[in-house]
Amino acid sequence: MLVLAGLFSVAMCRADEGMWLPSLIGKQIKDMRSKGFRLTAEDIYSINKASLKDAIVLFGRGCTGEVVSPEGLLLTNHHCGYGQIQQHSSLEHDYLTDGFWAMSREEELPNPGLTVSFLVRMEDVTDRMAAGTTGVAEETERRAILEANRKSIEKEASDEGRYSASVESLYYGNQYFLFVYEVFSDVRLVAAPPSSIGKFGGDTDNWMWPRHTGDFSVFRIYADKNNRPAAYSPDNVPYRPKKHFAISTKGVQENDFTFVYGFPGTTREYVTSDFVDYTLNWANPHKIRLRTMRLDIIKAAQEQDAATRIMYASKCASIANAWKKWQGETLGLIRLGTLEKKRSYESQFQQWAAGRPEYADILPRLHGAYAEWLPYAFARDYYNEAFGGVELMKPVALFVKNDFSPVGYETFYKDYAPGIDRAIAKKLMAEFWAHVDPKFVPGDFVAEVERAGSTDAFVDDLFDRSIFVSAESCLPMLSDSTARTTAADDPAVRMYDAFMKLYRSVILPEYKRLDEMIAGLYHIYMRGQMEFEPGKAFYPDANLTLRVAYGKVEGCVPADGVYHRHYTTLDGIIEKDNPEIYDYDIPQQLRDLYATKDYGRWGVWIGSLYTVPVAFLASNHTTGGNSGSPVLNSKGELLGLNFDRTWQSTMSDLEFDPTICRNIAVDIRYVLFVIDKLGGARYLIDEMTLK
Exactly one of 54, 203, 215, 256 is catalytic; which is it? 215
Which residues, numbered 558-617, are part of the site for ligand ARG (CB under 6 A)?
A: none
Residue 619 half-sphere exposure toward CB, CA atoms < 13 A = 26
Residue 81 makes contact with ligand ARG by CB under 6 A: no
Contact 68, 247 (CB under 8 A): yes
Q: Name which of 203 and 657 has its Cβ closer to ligand ARG.
A: 203
206 binds, among ligand ARG, ligand GLU, none (CB under 5 to 8 A by kind): ligand ARG
Q: Name which of 241 and 624 has its Cβ closer to ligand ARG.
A: 624
In order, the DSSP letters of 416-482 are --HHHHHHHHHHHHHHHHHHS-GGGS-HHHHHHHHHHSSHHHHHHHHHHH-GGG-HHHHHHHHT-HH
- CA distance linking residue 226 with residue 237, whole number of Å: 9
Residue 183 CA, chain-centre distance (Å), reads: 20
Instruction: Name the minimum Å distance from CB 199 to ligand ARG.
Output: 6
Q: How many residues does the chain have?
A: 691
Burial 271-302 (b: 16+ CB within 10 A, else e): bbbbbbbbbbeebbebbbebbebbbebbbebb
Residue 206 makes contact with ligand ARG by CB under 6 A: yes
Exactly one of 78, 79, 212, 286 is catalytic; which is it? 79
Q: Name which of 66 and 653 has its Cβ closer to ligand ARG.
A: 653
- Options 87, 158, 321, 589; binder of ligand ARG; rule CB under 6 A: 321
- CA distance linking residue 570 with residue 615, whole number of Å: 9
- CA distance linking residue 363 with residue 274, whole number of Å: 10
Instruction: Name the minimum Å distance from CB 689 to ligand GLU.
Output: 26
Count of chain residues binding ligand ARG (CB under 6 A) = 10
79 annotated active-site? yes
- Options 18, 20, 69, 79; binder of ligand ARG; rule CB under 6 A: 79
Residue 635 half-sphere exposure toward CB, CA atoms < 13 A = 11
Residue 661 CA, chain-centre distance (Å), reads: 17
- Options 154, 381, 644, 653; binder of ligand ARG; rule CB under 6 A: 644
Peptide bond into 210 cis (omega under 30): yes
- CA distance linking residue 379 with residue 384, whole number of Å: 9
Instruction: Name the minimum Å distance from CB 69 to ligand GLU.
Output: 24
Of 53, 403, 453, 465, residue with least CA distance to 259: 53
Nearest residue to ligand GLU by CB is 627
Exactly one of 627, 629, 634, 649 is catalytic; which is it? 627
Instruction: Name the minimum Å distance from CB 284 to ligand GLU.
Output: 15
Burial of residue 70, with CB atoms counted within 10 A of its CB: 0-12 exposed, 13-18 middle, 19 or more buried = middle
Instruction: Name the minimum Å distance from CB 266 to ligand GLU.
Output: 10
- CA distance linking residue 298 with residue 169, whole number of Å: 41
Instruction: Name the minimum Å distance from CB 202 to ligand ARG.
Output: 5
Binding residues (CB under 6 A) for ligand GLU: these are 622-627, 643-645
- Options 207, 259, 263, 602; binder of ligand ARG; rule CB under 6 A: 207
Sign of the CA dihedral 478, 481, 483, 484?
positive
626 binds, among ligand GLU, ligand ARG, none (CB under 5 to 8 A by kind): ligand GLU
149 binds, among ligand ARG, ligand GLU, none (CB under 5 to 8 A by kind): none
Instruction: Name the minimum Å distance from CB 629 to ligand GLU.
Output: 8
- CA distance linking residue 183 with residue 161, whole number of Å: 11
421 annotated active-site? no
Q: Name which of 75 and 157 has its Cβ closer to ligand GLU.
A: 75
Of 675, 666, 670, residue with least CA distance to 641: 666
Q: Name which of 455 and 622 has its Cβ closer to ligand GLU.
A: 622
Q: Name which of 576 and 645 has its Cβ closer to ligand GLU.
A: 645
Q: Name which of 79 and 342 has its Cβ closer to ligand GLU.
A: 79
- CA distance linking residue 474 with residue 406, whole number of Å: 10
Of 537, 668, 646, residue with least CA distance to 32: 537
Which residues, numbered 174-203, are part of the site for ligand ARG (CB under 6 A)?
A: 202-203
317 binds, among ligand GLU, ligand ARG, none (CB under 5 to 8 A by kind): ligand ARG
Q: Name which of 115 and 455 has its Cβ closer to ligand GLU.
A: 115
Residue 554 makes contact with ligand ARG by CB under 6 A: no
Contact 268, 322 (CB under 8 A): no
- Options 442, 558, 624, 640; binder of ligand ARG; rule CB under 6 A: 624
- CA distance linking residue 426 with residue 95, whole number of Å: 36
Instruction: Name the minimum Å distance from CB 95 to ligand ARG.
Output: 17
627 annotated active-site? yes
Query: What are the residues facing 179 on neighbouring strands?
Result: 122, 166
Instruction: Name the minimum Å distance from CB 653 to ligand ARG.
Output: 11
Q: Name which of 624 and 630 has its Cβ closer to ligand GLU.
A: 624
Residues found near ligand ARG in the complex (CB under 6 A): 79, 202-203, 206-207, 317, 321, 624, 627, 644
Q: Which residues are catalytic?
A: 79, 215, 627
